[in-house]
Amino acid sequence: MICGKCDCEKKPALVVQNFKLNVGELHIQNIPASLCDCDVWIAPSIRMELQRYATENSHLQGIHNISFEEI
């Protein structure tokens, strides 16, 4: 159980997170996560890494699609 609301076992999943940049968008794919029937959980260390990467690249223009492995 990962959410405390359901009795489902957690399952591994790959998710996408989108960030709105100053003048662009960043789509990060293949983010490792855990999934249950009512919630998706991304580890705090992974969330911090995603936020750090988005902040460092906030100057990018246009739409950028990358995989989590590239970070």
Q: Which are the contacts of 21, defined by CB distance < 8 A and separation ≥ 6?
A: 54, 57, 58, 59, 60
Mapping DSSP to helix (H, G, I), strand (E, B) and coil, where does residue 34 land? strand
Q: What's at 31, amino acid-wise? A: I
Report residue 8 as tokens: 């489902």
Whole-number Å distance between alpha carbons of 19 and 27: 6
pLDDT per residue, tens digit, the chain (71 aa), is 456 677 777 889 999 999 999 999 999 999 999 888 778 889 999 999 999 999 999 999 999 999 999 99
pTM greater than the 0.85 cutoff? no
pLDDT at site 1: 47
Residue-level pLDDT at 2: 55
| Confidence (pLDDT) at 39 | 81
pLDDT for the residue numbered 37:
76
